[in-house]
Chains A and B, each alone.
Chain A
Amino acid sequence: MRKFLAVVKHEYKKIVLKWTFLIGTLLFPLLGAGFAIVPALIFSLKGEPTRLVVVDPTGEIGPRLKENLSADKIAARARAAAEDALKELNATQDEKLRSGTSQLASGFQFVEMDTAGRSPEQLREELNLRAASDQIDAYLLIPPDIDAKDAKFEFRSRKAGDFVANDTIKDALNAAVRSQRLADANISENVLKDINRTVAFDSKSISEKGEEKDGDSLFLASLVIGMMIYISLTIYGQVIMGAVVEEKETRIAEILFSSARPFDLMFGKLVGVGLAGLTQLSIWVGSLVAIGIFLSTQAEMAPFLGALPNVTPLMIAYFFAYFIVGYFTYAAIFALIGSMVTTVQEGGQFAFPPIMIMLIGFYFGFAVIRDPNSTLSFWVSISPFFAPLTMPIRILAEMPPFWEIALSLGINALAIAGLVWLASRVYRVGMLMYGKRATIPEVLKWIRQA
């Protein structure tokens, strides 16, 4: 037992006391935060205001457009768009980005120009010249008759790639033309607003107990959990394999085997590396919880938090349990592979099958989110190999009855016992075989004979 603990301590310290562990631990949340914050930061860098000439033969659209493009109006529309985006989780990334960033559009500066008595061609020529000489950025030609069939609004800009500004102008122009048409049709804008108001669509799923729960952000949260488990299993599985191969490659195994029982050495390694993984996961979950608590004290975040799935301490306990289950399942496989091969590179090729199985489990997760109570969801969430990746998602989506979780944990514990037994048989023979990679028939022979 003391030797087993010595191995655990050795493996744990070997990982945790390295600066790469610290960086990895900090990097993951930072990367996550980075993906959310960095684009917003970049778009918030305001450019110069767009200098715009509006040529308006009608004399009616121009003023309406100017009003729509005023800072107040833009801000009001952006706020409305942001509120929509929070509710609408099906919105594509692109739409979200646009609606989010429209509020960040630079302002507009209207440049007056005397247009009296000049033909559109003359005007175009002059405006193009002025744009080329950097006196203006863009111009808009409003047709004399906005209701004519071939009426065209010509917008020319030096900053053609600024889709935020372009969209803002297009929206403002549409609004201006529409209100002008309404005015022409003698319908007041207030009446129209009433008619056009959208229905309030409140979508929630019903749990088996008949309780309502918020399904909106479930998909996102499941994806995060699934990713987190998948990534940590892959990383720590490879760490195990690397550690096993190192001891084989450097022939340290022979010294170790003359000091302690192979089973203690292998299982100690699994536990030590696993504790390092748990440490990292605890830091991640802990910081998530801390951020959650901090945000809940901020009043303006309340509507956003309300949309998050309700995570209980019991759920977190289950997540850790399934991380441990998944870890031991795949770590045993990686240890087995490590003791078969002669170099880390060779191991990399053999790591493909377990990673493939994990990936399949990860994709089963999507089926589980869509229908947590289906027959498929039941079977994948109790089966070995897949349960660690699918059951946490199922728990998040819809807490299954306790017996199912108990059954799932029981089946997986048996599978782990089998895998560890298998791995330790291969390990004790394979670790002392130098020179060449073992073939599958050889490995089978070791298992029978060891």
Chain B
Amino acid sequence: MSELATTLRVDHITKRFGDFTAVEDLSFELKAGRVFGFLGPNGAGKTTTIRMIVGITAPDEGRIELFGETMSSKLQDRIGYLPEERGLYKKMKIVDQLRYFAALKNVPANVAEKRIDRWLERLGLGAWKDKKTTDLSKGMQQKIQFISTVLHDPDLLILDEPFSGLDPVNVEFMIEVLSEFRDQHKTLIFSTHLMETAERLCHDIILINKSRKVVGGSLREVKASYGKNLIALRVTGGDAVLNDRAIVARVDEHADEMYVELTDGVDPQLLLKRLIDSGAHISKFEQVEPTLNDIFIELVGGSEAETPVLAGGAHAA
């Protein structure tokens, strides 16, 4: 694959509301065809940043560049934005709402008409075209909102907590739909607190907390740099080795196995060798990669910020 174009460049942006700094000196870059996880606890500045990217507000300092141009209202037509707080007109027919949202993105009426029919069929809502919002379940409304985000076939899709309110079947279905966007080399930005989902979908992540970037980069890099030398261990004996603070920093006992955190700079091989030498019986020895959840908790957990919902993390302490 040839060198990917830069979709989005956020260059040292700062946004203040009076005395409160919502986003401070934030920079990151995003290549076409990548899925980007925008992570952070509530109140960290995610929504403020996204609002600047989609051109709802402008940064006080710094610059946002989209598709190689400085952000302007013209570029809004190439972005699809599904806000976390979203809604529909209550008493209006579904099809009329979708037509309106398409018109606001400069989609010609005849094109919009075809796309509306195709998407409604695709998401199994064809029969609801002429119904009003109040006749739809919450999950159906979520899907309609998603359709309104993609009707103009955007090159950059920004989804703020896209799966909240969807049942697991529909979450899988949405992930499938989003994968297609990725395959078409469109860029996706996810803002979520579901670390498991982020881990599964994202190539790149950025974690922000208290208005500032905490960590960012490709998922692999981030995980590698926060790898804590964690070993999942099922063992009988070897207590002396495990109590040696020179190699083992900490031990978490779980039901039938334990998580052993090695002291910085210690090679896992050394632990294995010492355990064997001590005559302990080892039935499991596995080097564990930190989950995003672990990284999140380590980097954010110490702050007063609200901790995220823990979704299937291995050993949340």
Contact of B103 among A3, A14, A432, A434 (CB under 8 A): A3
Given contacts A3-B104, A6-B104, A251-B85, are A258 and B54 in contact (CB under 8 A)? yes
Contact of B104 among A13, A259, A445 (CB under 8 A): A259
Given A3-B106, A9-B103, A254-B86, 14 more pairs with CB closer than 8 A: A6-B100, A13-B96, A14-B92, A250-B87, A251-B86, A252-B88, A252-B89, A254-B81, A255-B83, A255-B101, A258-B54, A258-B56, A261-B73, A445-B18
A260 to B54, CA, bound (A): 11
Whether B217 sits at the interface, judged by CB under 8 Å, is no
Q: Across the interface, which residues of B come within 8 angstroms of A257, CB to CB?
A: 56
A58 to B85, CA, bound (A): 94
Which residues of A does B touch, CB under 8 Å? 2-3, 6-7, 9-10, 13-14, 246, 249-252, 254-261, 432, 434, 445
Check A256–B104 contact: CB distance below 8 A.
yes
Q: Across the interface, which residues of B come within 8 angstroms of A251, CB to CB?
A: 83, 85-87
Check B106–A10 contact: CB distance below 8 A.
no
A151 to B202, CA, bound (A): 110
Q: Can you list 15 A-B contacts with CB-CB less than 8 angstroms, sorted by A residue number?
A: A3-B106, A6-B103, A6-B104, A249-B87, A250-B87, A250-B88, A252-B86, A254-B56, A255-B81, A255-B86, A258-B76, A258-B83, A259-B76, A261-B73, A434-B85
Q: Across the interface, which residues of A come within 8 angstroms of B148, CB to CB?
A: 255
Minimum CB–CB distance for B42 against chain A, Å: 14
CB under 8 Å from chain A, chain B span 66-109:
73, 76-77, 79, 81, 83, 85-90, 92, 96, 100-101, 103-106
Which residues of B does A touch, CB under 8 Å? 18, 51, 54-56, 73, 76-77, 79, 81, 83, 85-90, 92, 96, 100-101, 103-106, 148
Most buried by B among A249, A251, A252, A432: A252
A255 to B51, CA, bound (A): 10
Q: Across the interface, which residues of B come within 8 angstroms of A6, CB to CB?
A: 100, 103-104
Q: Across the interface, which residues of B come within 8 angstroms of A445, CB to CB?
A: 18
A378 to B219, CA, bound (A): 73
A7 to B96, CA, bound (A): 13
Q: Across the interface, which residues of B come within 8 angstroms of A261, CB to CB?
A: 73
A445 to B56, CA, bound (A): 18
Minimum CB–CB distance for A447 against chain B, Å: 14
Minimum CB–CB distance for A276 against chain B, Å: 15
A258 to B78, CA, bound (A): 11
Minimum CB–CB distance for B257 against chain A, Å: 46
Q: Across the interface, which residues of A come within 8 angstroms of B83, CB to CB?
A: 251, 254-255, 258
Q: Look across to chain A and name the residue whose beta carbon is closest to the beta carbon of B53.
A: A258
A3 to B106, CA, bound (A): 7
A368 to B56, CA, bound (A): 47
Q: Look across to chain B and name the residue whose beta carbon is closest to the beta carbon of A249.
A: B87
Given contacts A258-B81, A260-B76, are A246 and B89 in contact (CB under 8 A)? yes
A260 to B152, CA, bound (A): 14
A261 to B58, CA, bound (A): 12
A235 to B140, CA, bound (A): 34
Q: Across the interface, which residues of A come within 8 angstroms of B104, CB to CB?
A: 3, 6-7, 256, 259-260
Given contacts A3-B106, A259-B101, A259-B104, are A254 and B76 in contact (CB under 8 A)? no
A256 to B90, CA, bound (A): 16
Given contacts A3-B106, A255-B148, are A246 and B85 in contact (CB under 8 A)? no
Given contacts A2-B106, A3-B106, A6-B100, are A258 and B87 in contact (CB under 8 A)? no
Check A259–B105 contact: CB distance below 8 A.
yes
Minimum CB–CB distance for A293 against chain B, Å: 39
A94 to B73, CA, bound (A): 65
Check B73–A432 contact: CB distance below 8 A.
no
Q: Look across to chain A and name the residue whose beta carbon is closest to the beta carbon of B152.
A: A259
Q: Look across to chain B and name the residue whose beta carbon is closest to the beta carbon of A252.
A: B87
Q: Across the interface, which residues of B come within 8 angstroms of A259, CB to CB?
A: 76-77, 101, 104-105
Check B81–A10 contact: CB distance below 8 A.
no
A248 to B54, CA, bound (A): 18
Q: Look across to chain B and name the residue whose beta carbon is closest to the beta carbon of A260.
A: B104
Q: Across the interface, which residues of B come within 8 angstroms of A434, CB to CB?
A: 85
A18 to B104, CA, bound (A): 22
4 residue pairs, one from A and one from B, having the closest CB atoms: A250-B87, A6-B103, A259-B104, A254-B83
A70 to B177, CA, bound (A): 91
Q: Across the interface, which residues of B come within 8 angstroms of A13, CB to CB?
A: 96
Q: Look across to chain A and name the residue whose beta carbon is closest to the beta carbon of B102.
A: A6
Q: Look across to chain A and name the residue whose beta carbon is closest to the beta carbon of B54.
A: A258
A250 to B85, CA, bound (A): 8
Contact of A258 among B55, B88, B100, B103 (CB under 8 A): B55
